[in-house]
Structure 1
Amino acid sequence: MRGRTPFFMTQRSWLGALGVYRHPRVVGMLFLGFAAGLPLLLVGGTFTAWLRDLGVELAAIGFLSWVGMAHSIKIFWAPVVDRFSLPVLTRVFGRRRSWMLLAQVVIAAALLGIALTDPTEHLWLVAVWAILAAFGSATQDIAIDAYRIEAVSADRQGAMAATYIFGYRVALLAAGAGALHIAAAGSWSTAYAAMALLMGVGMITTLIIREPEVEVSAATQQLEQRVVDYLDRTRHQGLRRNITAWFIGAVVCPFADFLRRYGQMALVILLFIGVFRIADIFMGVMANPFYLDLGFSKQQIANIAAGFGLAMTLTGAALGGLLVMRFGITRMLILTAFLAPLTNLTFSWLATLGPEMYGLALAIMADNISGGMATAVFIAYLSSLTNTAYTATQYALFSSFMTLPGQFLAGFTGVLVEQIDWFWFFISSALIGIPAIVLAFVLARYANPDQARTNR
C-alpha cells in the first residue's frame, strides 16, 4: 500500500532523521494540534473558572463538568466519522477533511454562543453550547487522529505526534492563561469570542491540506466481502438490511480486522496499551499536592512545574519523534517503558532532599522529557496498529483504552499516600510500571511493529 512499507531496522543518519520536521504534512499537524487542544479547557478548567467568577453555584459547576466526558465516549460515534459521508462536504473536501471542517465550525459557533450568553440568566443555554463544543471537539479529535495516521508513512508518525503535541500544548496555554488574561483585561465574553476566532487556525489548515490517499488491502476487501455475502443470504430487506450492513461494516469489521491481523497477540497488545502510561498517570495525580506538602510555594510550582515543565515536555516530544525516525518504534517503546518508572524515582529523591529548587527542576526535567518522548512514541505505535480502512474507529478504541486503567488506579493514590510516605509512594509508582517493560519485550519478540507486515 502506498506509503505503508515497513522500514524495518534500517537506521537513518541524524541529519536525515531531522529532515522529517520539514515535511509539509508534519508542519501542518502543528496547526491541527492547536485546533484540537483549544476547546479542551474552554469546556473544562477555564469554563468552570468563568462560571465561579460570575457566582454560579458549585453544584451546578460540578454537573456542568460532565460535558468533558464526550472525549471519553467518542468510541461510540467514531464508526460514524469513519464510514459516513457528509452531504456535499465529503464530495468537495474528502472523508477526513469534511468531518474536521464540520467539527471546527461547530466548535467555533458554540464558543461564540457561550460568549454571547449570560450564564447567570440562561445557564441552561450555556450548558447546551458547552455540550455542543465538547462533542464537536471530540469529533474533531477522531477526524484529526485518522488524518494523522493516513497522511504519512509509519516512520513519520513519531514526528507527526511531536508537532501535534506541540500545537496542542500551545493551544492549552492560549485557552488557559491566555483566556484568563483576556478576561481580566476585558470580559469573559471577549475571551470566548477571541477563542472562537482562534478556531480559524484549524479551519484554514483544513482548507489548505490535501486529503490523504489510502487504499484498502486485499485482506480487508475479503473481510468486507464476507459481509456482503452474509447479507445476500439473509431475508433482511430495505432499511433493516442497510442498517445491518452499516453496523457490521462500521462496528464489527474494525474489531474483527484487528483480531485477524494479530491473533492471540491482540490481547497482549491491548494489555500493553492499558499499562504503558500507567506509571505516569498514577504518579501525576499526586504531583501538585506533593510539591505543596514538601514546602514549595504556588509561584515556584507555577514557574518550574508548569512553565519549565511545558518546555521540557515539548523537548521530549520532539526528541521522541526524531528517535522514532532514526531507530524505529520498537526500540523506542522499550526505552520509554524503562524511562517512565525510572524518572518517577527522581521524586523519591526529591522527597528526601526537601524544598530545593534545583531538585525540583531536575525532577521535572527528567519526568517531562521522558513523558514527552513516551507520548510521541506511543502515538506512533498506536497509529501503526490501525488499518486505514477503519482508522478512526480503531484509534478511538486504542486511545480510550490507553488511559482507563491508570485513571482508575489513580483514584486510590490519595489513600496510598496516607498509608505510606511520599518516598515510598513514588517507589510504588515506579514498580507499577514494570508490567509495561515486560510486555514491551514480548511485543518486540512476537509483534514487532517495525518488522511485521500487517495488511494495513
Structure 2
Amino acid sequence: MPHLQVNSAPQFSWRQAFSVYCQRPVIALFFLGFAAGLPFLLVFSTLSAWLNDYGIGKTTIGFFGWVGITYSIKVLWSPIVDQLSIPYLSTKLGQRRSWMLAGQLGIALGLLILALLNPQQHIVLIALAALLVAFSSSTQDIAIDAFRIESARQEFQGAMSASYIFGYRLALLAAGAGSLYLAEFFSWSASYLCMAALMLVGIITSLVVQEPNGSNNQHSPRSEHDSLLQWFKHAVIAPFSDFFQRQGSFALLILGFIAVFRLSDITMGIMANPFYLDLGFSKTDIAEIGKVFGFFMTIAGSFFGGLLVIRYGVHKPLITGAIMVASTNLLFVALANIGPDIYWLMATISADNLSAGLANAAFIAYLSGLTNRAYTATQYALFSSLMTLPGKSLSGFSGVIVDASSYQVFFTYAAVMGIPAILLAVWVMRHDKRVA
C-alpha cells in the first residue's frame, strides 16, 4: 500500500485552498523553482546564441545539444543523492538541503567559468563548463523534487508545484530575454556573470529553509559491516522493487500512464515556433504573445491547477488537464486554416499555456503521491525521466509529418496522441478508488 493515498480528495474550502499559497514551504518552492529554471536556457538556446554571435559553426553548436542528456538520465545518479551524505554539509544542513546547495554551487561555478571564456579560443573548455552546469542543475533538480515531496502533504503538492513552476518560468525569462538584453547592451561575459550572481537566490534559500522532517535518514553508503553490494541493493534496487511491491500488477500501467501523459504537448511543442513563422507572424509577435503573454497564462494555469488539487484531490484535475492539453491542439488546426490573425494567436496561446500549466501542476502532484519517502529522490527521478523521454523521442519526427502533409494534419495527430492519457487517467482514478 502506498505511503500516501493519491486518490484522497480532502474537502477544503476555497479560502483554505488559497491560504495554502501563504505557507512557508510553498513560498520557498518559488525561489527554488527560480534556481532550477535559471541554468536551463543558459546551456541551451542562450548558449547557442552566444556561440553563433562569435561565429562558431552550426555543426559545433548542434553538438552542444548533447549536454542536455544529463537532464534525461539523472535517474542514474539519483540513488547517490538519495542515500549518500556530503561530508560536513549533510551534518549541518541535512540530506536535501546539502545536495541542493552543492548543485547550486556547481551551477554558479560553471556559469562563472563560462563568463571568463572566449568561444573562439576555448570551445572545449566551454563545453566542459556547460556540462558542469547541466550536471549540477540536474542534480539540484533531484534534491529539490525530494525536498518538495517531503515538505508537505500530498494534497498540498499541487500548490507546491504551482509555486515551483512560477519561479521556474520567471527564471526562464531572466535566462532567456534577460541574458540576451544584457549581452546586447553590455557583453556576453557580463550577462553570464549576472546569471551566476542570480544563483544566490537558490543558495540563500537552501541555507534558510528548514530540512523536511520526513527526509531519508539512511544516508551512509557503507557502514563498517555493510558491503558495497548491500548498499547497491538498498540505494539502487530497493527503490524500484519497493514501487513494484506497493503497486503490484498495476505498476506497469502507472508507468505507461506517466510515459504518455505529456506525449501530446511535448510532441507539438517543437513545431510551434516554425508554425508561427510560416503562418506569417513576426518574431516580435511570437516574443510578445508566445513568450511574455504565454508566461502569464502558464502561471495562471499552474496556480488554478494547484487550487483544484487542494479542493478536489488529484484525479479530477488530472483528467481535466489531459482533456484540455489534447483538445487545445485543435485550436492550432483552426489557426492554420484562418491564417495570421493576431487575436486567434492570442486565444490559441492562452488556451495552450493555461491547459499546460494546469495539467503539469496536477501531474506533478500525482507523481509526488506515488513516491515512498524512504526513496523519494530516486523514485521521483525515475518518474520525471519517464515523463519526458517518449515525447522527446517522438518529437524528432514532427518535421517529417509536416513536410509530408501539413500543419493541420500534424496538430490533429498531436491531439489524437493525447487520447491514451485521458483514458488512462480515468482508469487510474477508478483503480485508486477501488483500493482506497
Give the TM-score band, short-chain normalised.
over 0.9
Whichever residue aligns with residue 163 of structure 1, its letter is S
CA shift, 1:303, in A, is 1.5
Give the equivalent residue in structure 1 for 2:408.
Answer: 423
Matches of 1:216 and 1:79, distance apart in 2: 11
**CA deviation digits over 1:78-104, x for unaligned, max 9?**
000000011111000000000011111
CA shift, 1:29, in A, is 0.3
Matches of 1:142 and 1:76, distance apart in 2: 11
Which of 365, 382, 388 aligns to 1:397? It is 382
Aligned-partner SS, 1:390: helix
CA shift, 1:28, in A, is 0.6
Whichever residue aligns with residue 235 of structure 2, its letter is A
Give the equivalent residue in structure 2 for 1:322.
Answer: 307
**CA deviation digits over 1:329-368, x for unaligned, max 9?**
0111111111111111111121222211111111111111
The structure with the largest alpha-carbon Rg is 1
**CA deviation digits over 1:269-315, x for unaligned, max 9?**
00000111111112212111221222222221222112211111111
**CA deviation digits over 1:130-163, x for unaligned, max 9?**
1111111110001001100101000110011001
User: Structure 1 stretches of 5 or more lacking a match?
Assistant: 222-230, 232-236
Matches of 1:18 and 1:160, distance apart in 2: 12
Whether contact under 8 Å (2:5, 2:369) holds in the other structure is no
Whether contact under 8 Å (2:72, 2:389) holds in the other structure is no
Whether contact under 8 Å (1:7, 1:155) holds in the other structure is no
Give the equivalent residue in structure 1 for 2:298.
Answer: 313
Matches of 1:425 and 1:157, distance apart in 2: 34
* Shift in CA distance, 119/290, structure 1 to aligned 2, threshold 3 Å: closer
Matches within 5 A, 1:8-157: 8-157=8-157
Whichever residue aligns with residue 124 of structure 1, its letter is V
Matches of 1:289 and 1:433, distance apart in 2: 22
State which drifts further: 352-361 or 314-323. Answer: 352-361
Give the equivalent residue in structure 2 for 1:179.
Answer: 179
Whichever residue aligns with residue 156 of structure 2, its letter is R
* Shift in CA distance, 72/100, structure 1 to aligned 2, threshold 3 Å: same
State which drifts further: 189-198 or 113-122. Answer: 113-122
Give the equivalent residue in structure 1 for 2:422.
Answer: 437
Q: TM-score, normalised by structure 1?
A: 0.91
**CA deviation digits over 1:99-131, x for unaligned, max 9?**
011111111111111111222222222222211
Whether contact under 8 Å (2:9, 2:155) holds in the other structure is no
Matches within 5 A, 1:356-395: 356-395=341-380
Whichever residue aligns with residue 402 of structure 1, its letter is M
Aligned-partner SS, 2:34: helix
Whether contact under 8 Å (1:114, 1:192) holds in the other structure is yes
Give the equivalent residue in structure 2 for 1:169.
Answer: 169
Whether contact under 8 Å (2:4, 2:369) holds in the other structure is no
Matches of 2:435 and 2:167, distance apart in 1: 31
Matches of 1:387 and 1:452, distance apart in 2: 17
* Shift in CA distance, 433/101, structure 1 to aligned 2, threshold 3 Å: same
Give the equivalent residue in structure 2 for 1:300.
Answer: 285
State which drifts further: 47-56 or 307-316. Answer: 47-56
Considering only aligned residues, what root-mean-square deviation do their CA atoms show, in Å?
Answer: 2.2
CA shift, 1:49, in A, is 1.1
Matches of 2:340 and 2:119, distance apart in 1: 42
Matches of 1:295 and 1:215, distance apart in 2: 52
CA shift, 1:67, in A, is 1.6
Matches of 1:413 and 1:424, distance apart in 2: 11
1:251 aligns with 2:236: yes
CA shift, 1:452, in A, is 5.6
Whether contact under 8 Å (2:33, 2:163) holds in the other structure is yes
Matches of 1:282 and 1:68, distance apart in 2: 17
1:283 aligns with 2:268: yes
Whether contact under 8 Å (2:9, 2:311) holds in the other structure is no
Matches of 1:121 and 1:295, distance apart in 2: 39
**CA deviation digits over 1:147-189, x for unaligned, max 9?**
0010100011001100101100111111111111111111111
Q: TM-score, normalised by structure 2?
A: 0.95
Whether contact under 8 Å (1:111, 1:193) holds in the other structure is yes
Whether contact under 8 Å (1:48, 1:65) holds in the other structure is no
Whether contact under 8 Å (2:315, 2:429) holds in the other structure is yes
Aligned-partner SS, 2:374: coil
Matches of 2:126 and 2:275, distance apart in 1: 36
Q: Percent identity?
A: 53
Matches of 1:96 and 1:56, distance apart in 2: 39
Whichever residue aligns with residue 420 of structure 1, its letter is S
Whichever residue aligns with residue 308 of structure 1, its letter is F
CA shift, 1:8, in A, is 2.5
State which drifts further: 186-195 or 423-432. Answer: 423-432
**CA deviation digits over 1:190-232, x for unaligned, max 9?**
1111111110000100011000011779xxx9xxxxxxxxx9x
Matches of 2:435 and 2:295, distance apart in 1: 35
Matches of 1:411 and 1:109, distance apart in 2: 33
State which drifts further: 422-431 or 180-189. Answer: 422-431
Matches of 1:150 and 1:373, distance apart in 2: 22
1:200 aligns with 2:200: yes
Aligned-partner SS, 1:264: helix
User: Structure 2 stretches of 5 or more lacking a match?
Assistant: none
* Shift in CA distance, 452/111, structure 1 to aligned 2, threshold 3 Å: farther
